[in-house]
Amino acid sequence: MLLANHPLLGKTITGDQTSKLTIRVAEDVARFSLRIDPASAPSAGTAFGAPLPTRIGGMVETGGRTALQLGPDEWVLTAPVGESDGIADAFAALQDPHSLVDVGHREVGILVEGEAAALALRSAIAFDVEAMAVGTGCRTIFDKAQIVLIREDKNRFRIEVWRSFADHVWGILQAVSREIALGI
């Protein structure tokens, strides 16, 4: 039902050849919010099937699973949708005190790609997006919407945003892509 009512279903923004900017809906993934004592991160990584990063902003990708550390005891975990139940079961068996919450229904992903990707994001994010290292991420504000921003590659960023703010973020990106195409 959630996919049938996806707020960005069928939307794509492709700039012209001079803007070198593409904005599209990211493939859906299983998403979890994990809170656990950092001392238990190794056992949590075993349960997840990929190691957890050990520094805030750090990201680890292994076998289609991604772990991003957002705070001293907070990680965002993503994996292919079909692996959601297995991950939940593995954490249910984990002996260390933790909180694992499935937030896959709450968020959608937006990919911002191309040479003008950082420029497009700069229009609504109040920090130097270009200074982000590849393979890092953070929680930030995009205009008035809270997002998780991940720099996947030099010219590719992923925005994770709550469904209720997805149209707002998409609309701003659409307006910015027009301005970039026009050279404004």
Domain boundaries, the chain: 12-27+106-182, 30-102
Q: Whole-angstrom Cα distance, residue 24 to residue 149?
A: 15
pLDDT at 1: 44
Average pLDDT in the 170-181 region? 92
First-to-final CA distance of the chain: 40
Strand 145-153 to strand 98-102: parallel, antiparallel, or no bridges (unpaired)? unpaired
CB atoms within 10 A of CB 16: 11
pLDDT digits (tens, 9 = 90+) for 7-36: 565 666 555 455 489 999 999 999 999 999
For residue 184, pLDDT over 90 is answered with no
Tell me the CATH number of domain 12-27+106-182, given options 3.30.1360.120, 3.40.50.2300, 3.10.20.600, 1.20.1600.10. 3.30.1360.120
pLDDT digits (tens, 9 = 90+) for 30-59: 999 999 999 999 999 999 999 999 999 999
pTM of the model: 0.89
pLDDT at 68: 98
Tell me the CATH number of domain 30-102, given options 3.40.640.10, 3.40.1180.10, 3.30.70.1520, 3.90.420.10. 3.30.70.1520
Average pLDDT in the 78-104 region? 97
Instruction: Please compute, for residue 165, the number of CA atoms within 13 A of its CA located in the half-sphere on the CB side.
Output: 18
